[in-house]
Amino acid sequence: MKNIGFILLVFLVLLNYSTMAQTSSAQPKQVHFIIHTDFGDMKGFLYNETPKHRDNFKKNVQSGYYDGLLFHRVIPGFMIQGGDPNSRNAAPGQQLGSGGPNYKVDAEFNPNLIHKKGALAAARQGDQVNPSKASSGSQFYIVQGKKVSAVQLNAQYAGKYTSGQQTIYETIGGTPFLDGSYTVFGEITEGLDVIDKIASVEKDSNDRPVKDIRMTIRIVE
């Protein structure tokens, strides 16, 4: 009887371990990336909660789509934007921002994923021609934003954010007015100062940096 009990115990332990292993393997591995610029590197990861955007960005990166493209639109206190394929060989002063692949990515809004400083989000066409708020197949922006006081948050967004999210906007900053309108699909965890450096460069009347800022992006395994 003792042997039977011991065997049963071992069986239950192995069954529990197998169940845990299956659950663990079912969770997708977090995708990390690095964006290299002359101003430094920005490292971050993609959210598994936005799988369509995660997979699309990863595909673009692995194909070399972004290599040599520009951060073609920078607005201090707001964001830096890139991913327009027309920027690769763009002439000085050429207006950019309309390029991309011949498809869009369905919006994946998630109230837990906010436009805090360092948020990676998808650019898109305006509501008048894009009522579904579908994202560009390649263009993205990284939030710089500004700190938002508790008074401002409560006045404009009462009840919208958790206490943790409010603290983030108060201490780190961001662009809360974009939440729920543009898909946030990742974040920068190292190199937030690089965002500040890029956002502060001299630019023309179309918010394009006067001196080209090129990017190279890699997936980090």
**What one-character-per-residue DSSP string does 11-79 give?**
HHHHHHHHHHHHHHHHSPPPEEEEEEETTEEEEEEE-TTSHHHHHHHHHHHHTTTTTT-BEEEEETTTE
The domain ranges of the chain are 28-220
Q: How many residues does the chain have?
A: 221
The predicted model gives 47-70 an average pLDDT of: 98
Tens digit of each residue's pLDDT (9 = 90 or more) over 138-193: 999 999 999 999 999 999 999 999 999 999 999 999 999 999 999 999 999 999 99
Residue 46 has pLDDT above 60, yes or no: yes
* pLDDT-based confidence at residue 126 (cuts at 50, 70, 90): very high
Burial of residue 101 (number of CB atoms within 10 Å: 0-12, 13-18, 19+): middle
* pLDDT-based confidence at residue 27 (cuts at 50, 70, 90): confident
Tens digit of each residue's pLDDT (9 = 90 or more) over 1-24: 556 655 655 555 556 655 554 544
* pLDDT-based confidence at residue 28 (cuts at 50, 70, 90): confident
For the chain, the average pLDDT equals 92
125 is written with which tokens?
């066409």
Q: Which fold has domain 28-220?
A: Cyclophilin (2.40.100)
Q: What are the φ/ψ torsions at residue 128 (nearest 5 degrees)?
A: -65, -30
Q: How far apart, in whole angstroms, are the C-alpha atoms of residue 34 and residue 175? A: 23
User: What is the number of alpha carbons within 13 Å of residue 69 lying toward its C-beta?
Assistant: 24
